[in-house]
Amino acid sequence: MREKITSTQNARVKRWQHLTTKKGHQKYQAYLIEGWHTVGDAIQAGRPLTAIIGTHEQLTNHGAVLPDSVDQFEVSADIVKKLSDTVTPQGIFAVVTISETATVTPEKATGGWLLLDHVADPGNIGTMVRTADAAGFSGVVFGHGTSSQYNPKVIRAMQGSQFHISLVAGDLGDWIARFKERELAVYGSALNPAAKDYRTVSPTTTFAIIMGNEGQGMTADLLAETTANLYIPIKGQAESLNVGVAAGVLMFQLNSHLLD
């Protein structure tokens, strides 16, 4: 079914806009994604879409691969502007249902897992999810104080990687405890040289790495619970690495058992 909407005051448009906010995600258990890269990956991954929204041009261009079962809404440039998080929007969106049923638990998780502890910047979070995907990790756990996986800026930076690996909102204390019960390694990342040089760790098949806040680093009580804390030796004058770069260096050091 294809319906045309031209008014920015339309009730559906207002709901879609609401789906870019935390409140909207909770109320409707759905979120809005934007751009063909992400929408296309969601379709390919068979994610539960309830609406595809786009300009006449976008819906026509991608018509061949849009699933018939999902309602399509042709919208005006004004509506695109209202829904978009970018300055120059492509003009294609989709509504994705949040399904909690497939969530991976720390009791059963296998492979590499990246745990995010109060990471603040949506761009950094998205980059880390993208890197975890490329490094062959199984998933990313969004701990307390970390921007939501449904935040539009996080979604944009993930570039579709959220449809390749598992993203879970979870309690990191719980993840650490369960991994330790299973005798699996949980590595913290610390800026102090008292931690273990990351190059001295032997990769395993199932493990977790925790990355902390850009300014403060990891929460002290989590840092105390890890199997070991890893340190990337850096040059004296430099202050620190960007958290996304540090995560990349660590993940690619430890991923030798994870790639296809």
- Residues near its own copies, by CB under 8 A: 123, 127, 130-131, 133-136, 159-161, 164, 232-242, 244-249, 252, 258-260
Shortest reach from residue 152's CB to its own copies, in Å: 18
Shortest reach from residue 231's CB to its own copies, in Å: 12
Residue 193: phi and psi, rounded to 5, are: -65, -5
At 38, the amino acid letter reads T
Question: Closest CB to its own copies among 97 and 242?
Answer: 242
Question: Closest CB to its own copies among 172 and 258?
Answer: 258
The answer to whether the beta carbons of residues 49 and 55 sit under 8 Å apart is no
Shortest reach from residue 195's CB to its own copies, in Å: 16
Question: Closest CB to its own copies among 92 and 258?
Answer: 258
Question: Closest CB to its own copies among 89 and 244?
Answer: 244
At 231, the amino acid letter reads Y
At 39, the amino acid letter reads V
CA 220 from chain center: how many Å?
24
Nearest to 117 by CA among 153, 171, 161: 171
Shortest reach from residue 14's CB to its own copies, in Å: 27
Residue 196: phi and psi, rounded to 5, are: -85, 135
